[in-house]
Structure formats: C-alpha cells, structure tokens
Chains A and B, each alone.
Chain A
C-alpha cells in the first residue's frame, strides 16, 4: 500500500509548531471536535472553534479562555477516554488557560509566580498581614492598639485615612496597570487589538454573558461531577455568590470613600448605613461562595481536573474567603480591644489581595470577558446576532 497508512488512533492537529505540549494537544483535540461538532450547543467554545479550520496558539488561547471546564462536553463525548482518540477538552483547555495567564503577565519576569501560585499568594498574604500587624504595633501606642476605639474616625486613630487611601490606592492602581498590560497582550495574541474590542454592542453582550455565567452550565444540563448528576451541581450558584459578594464588598469600600471625601463622614458607620450593609452582604457571599466552590471542586470528576492549576485555584478562593471572613469579624468586634488587631489583619488581606491580583486566578475573569467580547464580535460578523 502507498504512503497513506496511518495508525488508526494517531490523529494530528492542524498546525505543526506550538509553544507547549498542552497547546499541541489542544490543536489535536480541536481537529477532532471540528469534524464532529456535536457539542456546539453547549457553550461558546465550539461555535468559536467552528469559525476556524486551523488552530494556532492565539486561537487556542482564545478558546481556552472561553471554556469554564464545566465538563458537559467530556461526558457527552463518544471519543473521550478510553476511546483511542482520548478527547478531554475540559482538562486540556484548563491547562492551556493556566499557561496563558503566565504568558501574558506583566512584567514577564513574574511569570514564575504562576508555577507555584499557591505558595506565592500565601507568602504575599502572610507578609502583608504581618506588615500591617507590626506596623500598627510599631507606630501606635499600646493603649491605642489594644484599647477600645469608638465614634467617628475610630479606625483612623490606628492608621490615618490619607495614608490608608494612598497605600491602597497605589496598590490598586498598580494592579489595574499590570492587569491592563496583561489584557493587552491577550488581545494581541488572540487577534483582537483594542480598537476591535470597543464596540458597545459587543461589550454589552459580553457583560451579560459574564454577569449571568451564561456558559457555565453545560448548555443547561449543569456541570458534570463524580456523582454523574449534573442537575445537583451548584457551581454556578457559588460562583455568583463569590463574584457578587466581591462586587458588593468593593462597592462598600467605594461608597465609604465617597462618604469620606464628599460627605465628610468618617467610618465606622452604623450597622444600617450603606457601606456596612453592602460590606456585610458581600462578606456573607465571600464566606459561602468560596466554601461552596471548594466543595464543588472536591467532587469534580478527577479525570477532568488539571492538577497543576489546583494551588492557584485554592489560593484565590481562600484569599477571597479570607477577605470576607476578616471583614465580617471586624463588624461585631469593632468596639472592643480586638479592633486594632483585626483591622490590621483585614487590611493586610486586602492589601495582599490587591498586589497579587495580576498574579493569580483573578485574571481569569478579565480574559474571559475579553474572549466573550471577541466571541460576540465574531458571531455578529458571521450571523448578524449572538443567538
């Protein structure tokens, strides 16, 4: 027979050169999937795939950042292992996605932080908390640090408001800058420079898809867990609690800043006032959400999990939980001698969170959103709408 014999199980991708083994495997899988397409109704990944006939690294990074690894395509796939074609899209795209975070990071020198991310984030958080504790103790009189503070400006007797605003403002701005530069690298890699990403319609569509986690439910069936009962999956719910909990906490802080500078009203605020209500609700979300997400992770079918990403996911989830917990504890104990210590710990967590935002799982939401804008744009170009 001629030179066309090929071992049956041996399939190849569309592109010879890839930056990593995970990208090469993703190319192979997308070549299988693109000739099947049974999963196109499950999420955005497969319709985006169908708009391509070959898969360069930028295409695969785009597809990987559209994927939530919900697992529906794995359990629906007639070619998943033990079939010789060994199709496992959730796991391989998770690997590509995790690699992409390190690839786009600014500055590039900090890319290794993603390699042992759990350790990196834990050290950053611990150092930050320690610095606040020691700083508070070094700079404050014992009577202030361990005394009872009450009334307007109680917090600022431990740390002057302007110092607090300056420090956290700087950390936050740094995070925005670093994330923005990472986002720019992502956009360029997936072939969607910023000019193409400004369409209000595309952004509105992406915002809705992001806010509703539209594609995190396997096309409506739910995520596939070890129990094979996707209808019992609560990952979407816990993600909503986490995400909106975080947003509520962020708006609590923003409201308090406005109170301070615009209304000249200083914290602490009474329990019924907006910053406290927003912060309390958000804090509750940040307690239940991350715990629930960790529980969902634990019952995931291990075959779909990407082991190298575990420490990063755990670090981010625990960080959010820490934010919520330390903030909530502060509320009932703010008029006790423990307030100084608890405030230092809470601020330490917040500061640690801010400076590690560009170097951990936080960026998944940013790239997901950008990928969804790109997706909305592609769908519009092809069909006129996003069905």
Chain B
C-alpha cells in the first residue's frame, strides 16, 4: 500500500485546487512543485482574475454573466474550436467557483484600474495571483497536504493507462500513489520543443511566465499513450515589449496602445488592421501576428496626442522629434517609415475620436485598413514601442472527460490519471483567448480532478 492517495504534480492554481479538493474528500495528498518556495505556482503568480459565470451582480461584479453568454464568448474567441460538452460543463461549474475559491481563503476585489471592461465578467484576486497562491498554499497546509519544493518529476511509470509511480529527478526518489493529478502546465518555456513547430522564430519568443513549464509531464503522458488534444502551434500569445526579460516579465511588459497608433514590421510596413475591434477583444491575436513577421519584431508607432490614453508600461517608449529620427533610433529605414506614416495619414478620414466605442475614425483606401480610432500621426514628439510575441501558455495537451480523467489514445478512460490546468487547456481552447479563462480552466478542472482522484483512490 502506498502512503499517498493522490499525487499532484505541479504547484499552481490547478494543482492547489486539486490538492485542496482531494484533501477535503479525505485523501492523503502530496504535491510536488518543481520550483522553490518563492517561485512556486508557475504562471498563476502572474495572473490576476478568473472568468466565472453568475446570474446576478455581486459585491465585486457589476452585472450578471449568464452561462450562455460565457459560452458564446468562448465560441467567438476560439472560432468554434472547443469541446462543447466540456466547455459547457466548465462554465456551469465556474458559477460555484466564486464562493468555493473564497472559501479556500482567497480574497476577491472589483476589477482593477485599467481593466474596467472586465468588471462584469471577471473576478479579481485581491493582491493578484501570488496573493491567491499564498492563500491556497496556506489552506492546503492547514488541511495536512504535504508540499515538496524543488521536487521536479522527471519520470512517470504508467502501465496501460494506470499510473504507478513518479520519480523526482534530483533525488531519484520513486513515489507511488493511488491516483495522479497532472497539473504541471504547458510546454511554452521549452524553446526546443516550440522550434519543432515554429522553427528558429521561437528563439525570438518571450515567455511571459515561469521558466519551469518545459512540458516534461505532458510529454511523458503523451508518450505513455494518453490521447493528445489541441494544435501544437496554438497558445495564448500577446505582443509585449521586446525589452522584457526572457521569462517571468509577467503583466507589466504588456502594451495597450496598438489601437492608438500603427504597427509596422522591420521593413516599416503595416501588416494588420490595428483598429479592428476594441482592445480587450483583440489583444490576444497580436502575439501570433508579430510571430508571423520577419525576425518576429514589430513597432507600435504613435504620436504625442496618444501618450497618456493607455495604461503605463514598464519601459518608457522610444521617443524622437521627427518620424525620421524615430526610425533611426528603432533601426528602421527612415524613408520607409516616413512613407508608411504619410500614406496612413493621407488615408485617415475625419471622424469623432472615442476610444471607448467603435468610433468612426477610419482610413479609406488603405491596405490593410485601420477601421477605428484612426487619427493622423502628426504631433511630435513621436513614440514607439518595440514588440515581440509574448507566450503565456500553450494549448497542446492531454484529452480529458468531464471528470477531468485523462482519455487514452484508444478512447478508453485512464484508470487513475487526471489532469487540470494548462496541461489540458486545449480541450476547451482550440485557439484564441478570453481574459481570465486560463484560471477558470485551472480552478474548475483542478477541483474536479482532485475530487475524482480522491474518490478513485478510495475504490
């Protein structure tokens, strides 16, 4: 008999929700976190909110967000690339999360300054994701969950869909358990793995979160017959400041100014409609757009009239008195950038600028167009932010059913293996992203996985 009922691999939101839920079911739970205590929690430490359905306004949410609306939002951002049964199940379960998460010691607050557009749909953690983690860890420890840090799992023994043991790389210790919850994230920090799909372009990707999500557990599971789900090139990626550190730059290098200017590539050419839709609905496409440009770099160019219209970012914009000098500072061809800006300015139609709505400021006869918020870039000084693809997390994962139980390649349910969080996000997110949904996937399926793993261990 093994000493552990439920082994949880990972230490973020999904892992801790699973550990807590399993413990509350009476299971003896062990959590293996690859990092040390400071860096614990992987990408969760960089998060700040969770998208939950609710039928009426609450103290922290300004109005109802019904299940159907949530599902429609999901369909829109994923272009229908979602497992409807699982997605609807998750959305239904998300309603309970508002109270369940709070019961685990996490505090909510209304939406943050600068993100008021999420005030109705997303519940924010007081103090952010690390505060949430601190609360979850404290609760897990109080419940008697054993947590081991610097315990990276490097091997898993699986026999025909049945988890037998995991091995901690640093000590070669082999740990048996009656059931497994894999909540160890995606593979976005494994640049070599990304290169299999992206080629050398992946060298220019910046990873917004943890450097520990190398996909080791994901790969071990897939190699042992767990069914794969999701397109390996799909991920949550945004355009972030190119000066950001390679890992763990988090939220503060994001830039919310695309809609106020134009975005050009290294040839000083525009490549997409910057004003297609309001920013919260479009921010998540820009990572892939920049990834498709030469050298995976682009520059957001705007003028003095826009400087204070968006939330400040970590690094100051590059600044110059003329477009030509700005181009020189950016290393772009001055004549080419001047030409692009002039062509844009000539195409701008008169309109009434209002960045809160889809206004009538647009270009005419320009390819690609700028459909809204198009204003001439003419008032110096001129500014630019260099941007690169910032990968938040990947979608390739393990297929699961409604009980968060892994499904094997031959469609049989796994005997005692469950998955939650980014490692199975591809079940719900085929492509695209909607703010806060990663945490919903983690918490909802984490709780289910923990509960089911505990029940499985009892039988």
Contacts and interface: CB of A to CB of B under 8 A. Distances in A.
B386 A4 contact: yes
Contacts of B126: 41-42, 219-221
A82 B252 contact: no
A9 B245 CA distance: 7
Interface string B153-182: 000000000000000000000000000000
Given A4-B329, A32-B252, A47-B113, A38 B129 contact: yes
A200 interface: no
Interface in A9-63: 9, 11-12, 14, 31-32, 34-42, 47, 50, 53
B134 interface: yes
A2 B126 CA distance: 40
Contacts of A174: none
Contact of B314 (A4, A31, A76): A31
B128 A76 contact: yes
Interface residues of A, number: 41
A3 interface: yes
Given A2-B329, A8-B246, A76-B131, A35 B107 contact: no
Contacts of A167: none
Nearest to B318: A4
B329 A35 contact: no
Nearest to B115: A37
A218 B135 CA distance: 13
A38 B112 CA distance: 7
B248 interface: yes
A83 B113 CA distance: 24
Interface in B277-336: 308, 311-316, 318, 328-332
Contact of A39 (B128, B246, B251): B128
Contact of B252 (A36, A73, A220): A36
Contact of A38 (B127, B249, B312): B127
A218 B109 CA distance: 13
B314 A84 contact: no
Interface string B99-142: 00000000101101110000000001111111100100010000
Contacts of A385: none
Interface string B71-112: 000000000000000000000000000000000000101101
B316 A12 contact: yes
A296 to B, nearest CB: 20
A295 B128 CA distance: 30
Contacts of B113: 37, 40, 47, 50
Contacts of B128: 36, 38-39, 76-78
Contacts of A83: 248
Contacts of B46: 78
B447 interface: no
B314 A42 contact: no
B407 to A, nearest CB: 34
Interface residues of B, number: 45
A5 B243 contact: yes
A372 interface: no
Given A3-B331, A83-B248, A220-B107, A11 B48 contact: no
B250 interface: yes
Contacts of A47: 113
B242 interface: yes
A198 B138 CA distance: 45
A78 B316 CA distance: 21
A218 B127 CA distance: 9
A155 interface: no
Given A36-B251, A78-B45, A31 B312 contact: yes
Contacts of A1: 331
A85 to B, nearest CB: 8
Nearest to A12: B316
Given A4-B330, A53-B308, A78-B128, A11 B315 contact: yes
A236 B38 CA distance: 27
A83 B246 CA distance: 13
A75 interface: yes
B127 A4 contact: no
Nearest to B249: A8
B127 A76 contact: yes
B272 to A, nearest CB: 22
Given A4-B243, A38-B129, A82 B38 contact: yes
Contacts of A278: none
Contact of B127 (A31, A35, A39): A39
A11 B312 CA distance: 14
B127 A72 contact: yes
Nearest to B41: A78
B244 interface: yes
A42 B130 CA distance: 14
A14 B315 CA distance: 9
A227 to B, nearest CB: 11
A50 B244 CA distance: 22
B127 A219 contact: yes
Interface string B375-391: 00000000000100000
Contacts of A78: 45-46, 128-130, 248, 250
A124 to B, nearest CB: 41
Contacts of B127: 38-39, 41-42, 72-73, 76, 218-219, 221
A269 interface: no
Contacts of B125: 38
14 contacts: A1-B331, A3-B331, A8-B249, A11-B314, A31-B314, A32-B314, A36-B128, A36-B252, A37-B311, A39-B128, A42-B126, A78-B46, A78-B130, A221-B126
Given A4-B242, A53-B308, 10 more contacts: A2-B330, A4-B243, A4-B386, A6-B315, A35-B313, A41-B109, A41-B127, A42-B126, A50-B113, A82-B38
